[in-house]
Amino acid sequence: MDSHTESPAHSSGSPAHGSVDTRAVHAGRDDLTDLGLHAPPLDLSTTYPSRDAAAEAARLDAFTEGKDDGGPPVYARAANTTVRRFEQALAELEGATAAVAFASGMAALSAVLLARVSAGRPHVVAVRPLYGTSDHLLDSGLLGNTTTFASAKEAPSALTGATGLVVVETPANPTLSEVGIQELADACAPVPVLVDNTFATPALQRPLAHGAAMTLHSATKYLGGHGDVMGGVVACSEEFARVLRQVRFVTGGVLHPLAGYQLHRGLTTLPVRMRAQSTTAAELARRLSGHPGVSRVRYPGLGGAPRPADQMAGGGAMVAFEVAGDAPGLIGAVRLITPAVSLGSVDSLIQHPASISHHIMDAGSRADAGIPENLIRLSVGLEDVEDLWADLDQALDAVS
């Protein structure tokens, strides 16, 4: 393979250069100077030529077993050099030995479920609330799993001999409730805990350092950060990564190389974006809590509310609040903030979970998850706080 398309070895281990800010800039790029490059190369190949058929066969055997030594792929469904760089970088930021990227966050969760079902452990304990489509997938049993929904305190007693996974999202979508990861992992051991870390990102929280076995991201959100790329990724041990690569190889839920390039680039500014957006979110949460058109604000640590110790740095960039008036009407009343599903972009996004992100759940399931019909979810971007507040204030006045 041409040296300008090579990628570093897949497994990364612990960060090599200190702070998350430094690693976000350099992870997955440590070999570029030796290659005579500054920007990571974009590898769009779907196939990789070789005159050595025996070597190709050996490599294909390795890929079907989930092994990836960082050498030349055989076919793009098995591996891609650009995607590998993103995987290595995300693994470093999460403190994992490996990461496996997929076409979307739901493809990533599906791969984890298929891996556990194929291992003969089809039962899942899920701590509500979760992202609506994650909840729906777990509840549907479409992939051969069965699911018991429970609170974090109830989760250990919900385990059975067939339980292969505990799923939790903290902070949760859309209520921003937090769960102590270490306490949950200790109580549910030896069953592995998967933490959806989409809202916090490794810039604010590293679940593996608190006992989780794996973290999952909808990379579409903060990791990309600009609302223009879709992907998912799981950070975990190399042992479990091999199984996930096997699932990805046979199901074809691969991340496109251009998406891998964009996500890797997005990581470089992740810590800076998260700090700035979190600062604005905290201020908006404070102001919303005093607005007469708002009956309740949900934001980690607001008003000194207790939180899991030493788990997440700051409150994050998401705000949830309950409207005293017409909640769906608020979506149509904003003028600066973008009324759209999704989150984590540089522009602020606002949506009504019962109508959009959690609409796929029936009303009873939403109630069980603690998601009221008047809840609004706000993803805070990089706009000026005064401009955002002016828009929220006028919209709340309009529907109150």
Q: Would you name the residues annotated as active-site residues? A: 77, 131, 196, 221
The helices-and-strands tally (H runs, E runs) of the chain is 15, 12
Instruction: Give the side-chain half-sphere CA count within 13 A for 390.
Output: 7
Q: How far is CA 386 from CA 183, 251, 309, 376, 390, in A?
A: 39, 47, 31, 20, 6
Q: How far apart are CA 193 and CA 211, in angstroms?
A: 8
Residue with the two structure tokens 């109580």:
187
Q: How far apart are CA 93 and CA 270, in angstroms?
A: 11
194 neighbors 214 (Cβ within 8 angstroms)? yes
Q: DSSP alpha helices (H): ranges in the chain?
A: 20-26, 32-35, 53-64, 81-94, 105-118, 132-140, 155-158, 181-188, 201-204, 238-251, 257-268, 270-288, 327-333, 363-368, 385-399
Q: How far apart are CA 275 and CA 353, in angstroms?
A: 25
Q: How far apart are CA 302 and CA 283, in angstroms?
A: 10
260 neighbors 101 (Cβ within 8 angstroms)? yes
Q: How far apart are CA 377 and CA 371, in angstroms?
A: 11
Q: How far is CA 49 from the centre of its chain?
A: 34
Q: How far is CA 77 from the centre of its chain?
A: 22
Q: How far apart are CA 11 and CA 27, in angstroms?
A: 12
